[in-house]
Structure 1
Amino acid sequence: MALLPAIPAPDPTLDAVDRAVEARQAAEKPRPYLGMSAIGEPCSRRLWYGFRWAVQQQFPAGTLYKFEDGHRTEDLVAARLRLVPGLTLHTIDPSTGRQIGYTDHGGHFRGHMDGAVLGLLQAPKTWHVWECKATNDEKQGLLLKLKAEGEKAALAAWDPIYWAQAVVYMHYSGMDRHYLTCTTPGGRSTISVRTDADADAAKRLAEKALRIIVASTPPERISEDPEWYQCGWCPAHAICHGGKLPNVSCRTCAHATPELDGDGRWTCALWRSDIPGEAQHLGCDGHRYIPALVVFAEAVDADAAANWIEYRLPDGRTFLNGDPGALGPRAYTSAELRAIDPALIGDDFVDAARTELGAQVVA
């Protein structure tokens, strides 16, 4: 009887590497702006949640390695392009020494393109926005098929988000052409597709960005069905469809407003001041949720001077998002509201622990 092959044991060192990479990701701060690379996302509410730091998507180590491969592939393809005589590729803005970037709407809408290229053999006198994407063989094959059917329409059909990114970068850079290189992992196979500018689409996308930035409440969902496929994989699904409260930060607070003058400036109506960028991540004791985010209850009253908002649950119970030290056990800080099961709001045992023992509700 033949012996079964031994199952390789997990490598504890490599497992530790995975966990370290994931931990490093968890410590990273969310981007402080709405990205031009994402504006083609069809759900404006998802983009609003990201801009408001309602949720920070976390990826497993394997996905993070794919991202790293994409960054390395960009450098690899750039080096290869520069081998072509007469071709000029700028990946750094010579005036700043940084990646070429653009900003709009008071610094709240930003993007950084991979480069600008001149001297492509198929259009040697025309500057192109250059973007490099790394993908698998199957997705590259689809782009190749679409290109054969009509190159100028291929990018929009292949990936609408990449197409929107291309259109916006052409708009803000003033270039009329876009050159996308698509490479499989490790740089084994590279294809390209060129796309024309679309001024009307760029304008619509810039207007979409502005609507999201100035919206004080979440925009309309892409679907009211929690099982809709685009909702199912959304990192904000639990907030949007499941009633979970988002992270506590200045961006989810009713007092905070993104201002359109300045460079990514936010102001606080409670403290009547600008909010420093680093302070926005944690919020303060005066944090009160934007009422539209408290989806499991209805806002029924508020007092700006005392800084509380009153809510009514479907069964008639009421509670305050406010300072329990000043307002009593009916009041919950935003951190407590995020941690507590709504069924336990107003529970005698929980309230007794909070008032008599000074306890707080924690996750």
Structure 2
Amino acid sequence: MDAIEIIDLIDQSYEQEAEQKARQYIGASAIGNECDAAIAFNLRGFPNVAPDPQLKRIFGMGHVIEDMVVADLKRVPGLEIQEVDPNTGKQWTYQASGGHVSCHTDGMAIWQGETLILEIKSMNDASFNKFKNKGMQRSHPHYFFQVQMYMGMSGVRRTLFIAYNKNRSVYHAEIVEFDDFEWSAMRYRIKRILRGEGKRIARDRSDWRCKGCFKRDVCWGKVQPEVRCSSCTYAVADERGGWYCTVHEKAATETCNAYEPFQPGDRDD
């Protein structure tokens, strides 16, 4: 066995891991995606394209860095960090529309008597400098929408957004204010997707925005979803929870011969 073979075997071990079941809700981490179809596929639990070993390691390192950042924040006198909800002992979670909309924050920060949402991101040098020079809303709008959803659903009106530079091990932070206009627009978009009206952002699979999307295979028909009511084009999300069948005009409880896999609408030109 040579050294390169060891590296290959490491990658193989990642490839042999059982893939995590795709989430089945509209989450804050996805709401910044410009494509309604991608969010709709998340809502309906369609399978993801499996990440490659390198990407899995990047995700894993993100969790390691988050733990380190929390430990550093706890070194600050007078700053209280609550990683979990003391009422549940679990991650801070907020839900709406019968659970079809859900978000999970990195925690809460209590500073000078004020409670703020805590959001932690690790960035490479270029991304970090862009954030530092332009501010989070301009540099990383997808993160901006993510924390707006946190604040809109939680009622907490400010977020401590802290970024860790993976190249130089330095920090930059920003207090993000709640934007009621953006949250209103976001809620309208969420309602539209819940009704099954999401559309693709692209005309075809070759679009650069599709190449990195985890839902590209189901979006363009390369992979079929699991047959169930939530993946059916005739089902819409019930605001009270569960799914409603527009063919039988009742709660969707089991698949039937009317089943057709959900496909998003084509973009308007």
TM-score of the two chains, using structure 2 as the length reference? 0.85
Match of 1:361 in 2: none
Separation in 2, partners of 1:36, 1:89? 21
Could you say what secondary structure the match of 1:10 adopts? Answer: helix
> Is the counterpart of residue 140 in structure 1 residue 128 in structure 2?
yes
Query: What residue is the counterpart of 1:335 in the other structure?
Result: none
- Does the 8 Å contact 1:131/1:180 carry over to 2? yes
Whether the 8 Å CA contact 2:200–2:265 is kept in 1: the answer is no
- Distance in structure 2 (CA, Å) of the matches to 1:9 and 1:140: 34
Once residues 266 and 29 of structure 1 are traced to their aligned partners in structure 2, the CA distance between those partners, rounded to angstroms, is 19
Indicate if the aligned counterparts of 1:255 and 1:288 stay in contact, CA closer than 8 A: yes
Q: 1:20 to 1:285 in 2, by over 3 A?
A: farther
Instruction: Report the Cα distance in structure 2 between the residues aligned to 1:260 and 1:174, rounded to whole angstroms.
Output: 20
Counterpart of 2:16? 23
Alignment partner of 1:38 is 2:23: no
Unaligned runs of 5+ in 2: none
Note closer, same or farther for the CA distance 1:53–1:287 as it changes in structure 2 (3 Å cut): farther
Secondary structure of the 1:80 match is: helix
| Matched position secondary structure for 1:127 | strand
Are 1:47 and 2:39 matched, yes or no?
yes
1:10 alignment partner, one of 1, 4, 16:
4
Structure 1 contact 33–109 (Cα < 8 Å) conserved: yes
Alpha-carbon separation, structure 1, partners of 2:11 and 2:35? 31
1:259 aligns with 2:252: no
8 Å CA contact 2:25, 2:45 repeated in 1 = no
| 1:244 aligned to which of 215, 222, 244 | 222
- Provide closer, same or farther for how the CA distance between residues 128 and 25 of structure 1 changes in structure 2, counting only shifts above 3 A: farther
- Residue aligned with 1:130, SS: strand
2:123 maps to a residue whose letter is T
Sort the Cα spacing of 1:247 and 1:118 in 2 relative to 1 into closer, same or farther, 3 A. Answer: same
Q: Report the Cα offset of residue 125 of structure 1.
A: 3.8
Amino acid at match of 2:4: P
Q: What is the DSSP-based 3-state SS (H/G/I as helix, E as strand, rest coil) of the residue aligned with 2:88?
A: coil
Does residue 101 (structure 1) correspond to residue 80 (structure 2)? The answer is no
Cα distance, 1:96–1:238 mapped onto 2, change above 3 Å:
closer
Deviation at 1:186, TM superposition (A): 8.5
Aligned partner (choices 220, 223, 242) of residue 199 of structure 2: 220
The Cα shift of 1:175 comes to 1.9
The answer to whether residue 90 in structure 2 is matched with residue 113 in structure 1 is: no
Q: Looking at CA atoms only, which structure, 1 or 2, has the larger radius of gyration? A: 1
5+ residue gaps, structure 1: 1-7, 147-153, 276-282, 296-363
Once the 2 structures are TM-superposed, how far is the Cα of residue 113 of structure 1 from its aligned partner?
0.5
Root mean square deviation, CA, Å: 2.9
The reply on whether 1:165 has 2:146 as its aligned counterpart is yes
- Checking the alignment, whether the CA contact within 8 Å between 1:246 and 1:252 is kept in structure 2 is no
The answer as to 2:264 corresponding to 1:289 is: no
Compute the displacement of 1:97 (Å): 0.5
Superimposed CA distance per residue, residues 17-55 of structure 1 (whole angstroms, 9 cap, x where no aligned partner): 3223233252x1111211122112111011112222334
The whole-number CA distance in structure 1 between the counterparts of 2:87 and 2:106 is 16
2:109 is matched by which residue type in structure 1?
V
In structure 2, the CA distance between the partners of 1:289 and 1:23, relative to structure 1 (3 Å rule), is: farther
In 2, distance between residues paired with 1:224 and 1:130? Answer: 37
Q: Which amino acid aligns with 2:240?
A: D
Q: Please say if residues 69 and 186 of structure 1, whose CA atoms lie closer than 8 Å, have aligned partners that are also in contact.
A: no
Identity score, percent: 25
- Shift of the alpha carbon at 1:142? 1.2
Q: Distance in 1 between matches of 2:73 and 2:32?
A: 28
Once the two structures are TM-superposed, the CA of residue 257 in structure 1 deviates from its matched residue by 4.2
2:79 and 2:167 mapped to 1: Cα distance? 23
Deviates more, 1:228-237 or 1:105-114: 228-237
